[in-house]
């Protein structure tokens, strides 16, 4: 039972807010560069840095420029980057075979980064949406996103990424059974040290719009993803998903999106104590950037406040497009 607090004036709660030194002494949460994973987008070509209009300041980069971004991240102290491939409609197919091609954009980027910047950890995305002509995370048969055939493809995709040198596999597809299947395959192939950060509680959210622009999926998607991504109204279901993925071999778990689901982050951390991450998704980033560019909010202060919210909710780390800007700002403090 919580002890009774003395009444005013014996208790003056403003005492512990009276100076920077005192506020620092009693601060419960600290944001550092170690908390960040930086999502980056890779595309075909060479010497390309292509702006994404719906995500101000974010670029699609060719492999050589992604290597430069990885070096920038390492120099800033950012511990990990996450690779997402951009594919045009002409590169997408019904069979999604590009997803496990050893020479696709993502796998070439992994090898190039490992050769040039071996100290940075590389996370990948495992889902078929960026290779699927239908824009879905799984195969589409007679209008249905099929589960088990998709899992077989996801295993091949994860193995190709592990062979390329990925440190962290990030299944974001939300198919049933994929964590256990991927873990079993990684073990059998000798990739025992490759980690799985499961997008275990991924919601069917409207906050993903700019990301789909970034990876070329906006024009490809037919229908919606509500039969496999979570209903935003549910929270108990998220705990069931987290428990399942941890028992199937996930090393870390993710809640996505981030800020609209901080209650889920808190419940996950309190319930399981496992390494818990959140993805500050493209729509969250775009809203902050748009308001800042219009002069309606203070970019730096709102950025850091938004990131601190994840730490307060129990997150161990954050995937955020703000990673380089936040790292630079924190380094000045």
What pLDDT, in 10s, does the model give residues 65-79? 999 999 999 999 999
Domain 30-331 has CATH 3.20.20.70: yes
pLDDT bucket at 217, cuts 50 / 70 / 90: low
Which position has the token pair 């059998």?
188
d(CA 125, CA 197): 10
Q: How far apart are CA 188 and CA 173, in angstroms?
A: 22
Read off the pLDDT band of 218 (50, 70, 90): low
Which residue ranges make up each domain of the chain?
Answer: 30-331
Q: Are 111 and 163 in contact (CB under 8 A)?
A: no
Tell me the mean pLDDT in the region 102-115.
Answer: 97
Q: Give the mean pLDDT of 226-251.
A: 98
- Give the tens place of pLDDT for each residue, 26-46: 999 999 999 999 999 999 999
Q: Residue for token digits 């703000």?
A: 322
Element of type H or E holding 49: strand 49-51
Active site residues: 202, 256
At residue 211 the predicted structure's pLDDT band, cuts being 50, 70 and 90, is: confident
Q: How many helices (H) and strands (E) does the chain have?
A: 11, 12
% the chain with pLDDT above 90: 91
Integer angstrom CA distances of residue 268 from 85, 176, 259, 292? 29, 19, 14, 31
Q: What residues have CB less than 8 Å from 237, skipping those under 6 apart?
A: 230, 231
Question: By 3-state DSSP, what share of the chain in percent is helix, strand and coil, each rounded to 5?
Answer: 45, 20, 40
On whether the pTM is more than 0.75, the answer is: yes
Length of the chain: 333
Return the pLDDT at 200.
Answer: 97
- Which pair of tokens denotes residue 53? 């209009």
CB atoms within 10 A of CB 92: 20
Instruction: Say what the pLDDT of residue 88 is.
Output: 86
In whole angstroms, what is the distance from residue 197 CA to residue 174 CA?
Answer: 13
C-alpha–C-alpha distance, residues 123 and 181, integer Å: 18
């Amino acid at each position: 039972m919580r002890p009774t607090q003395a009444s005013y004036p014996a208790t003056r709660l403003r005492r512990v807010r009276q100076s920077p030194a005192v506020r620092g002494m009693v601060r419960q949460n600290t944001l550092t560069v170690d908390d960040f994973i930086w999502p980056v987008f890779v595309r075909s070509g060479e010497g390309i840095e292509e702006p994404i209009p719906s995500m101000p300041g974010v670029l699609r980069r060719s492999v050589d420029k992604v290597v430069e971004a990885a070096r920038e991240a390492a120099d800033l102290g950012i511990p990990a980057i996450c690779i997402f491939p951009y594919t045009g409609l002409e590169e997408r197919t019904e069979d999604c075979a590009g997803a496990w091609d050893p020479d696709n954009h993502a796998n070439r980027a992994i090898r190039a980064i490992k050769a040039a910047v071996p100290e940075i950890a590389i996370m990948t995305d495992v889902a078929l949406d960026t290779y699927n002509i239908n824009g879905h995370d799984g195969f589409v048969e007679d209008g249905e996103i099929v589960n088990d055939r998709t899992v077989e493809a996801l295993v091949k995709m994860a193995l190709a990424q592990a062979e390329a040198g990925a440190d962290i596999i990030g299944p974001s597809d939300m198919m049933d059974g994929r964590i256990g299947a991927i873990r079993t395959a990684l073990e059998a192939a000798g990739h025992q040290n490759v980690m799985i950060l499961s997008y275990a509680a991924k919601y069917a959210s409207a906050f993903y719009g700019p990301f789909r622009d970034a990876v070329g999926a906006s024009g490809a998607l037919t229908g919606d993803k509500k039969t496999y991504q979570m209903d935003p109204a549910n929270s108990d279901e998220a705990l069931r998903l987290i428990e399942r993925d941890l028992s199937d071999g996930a090393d870390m778990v993710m809640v996505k999106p981030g800020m609209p689901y901080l209650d889920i982050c808190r419940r996950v951390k309190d319930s399981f104590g496992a390494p818990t991450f959140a993805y500050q998704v493209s729509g969250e980033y775009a809203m902050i950037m748009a308001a800042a560019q219009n002069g309606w909010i203070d970019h730096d202060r709102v950025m850091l406040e938004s990131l601190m919210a994840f730490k307060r909710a129990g997150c161990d780390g954050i995937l955020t497009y703000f990673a380089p800007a936040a790292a630079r700002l924190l380094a000045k403090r």
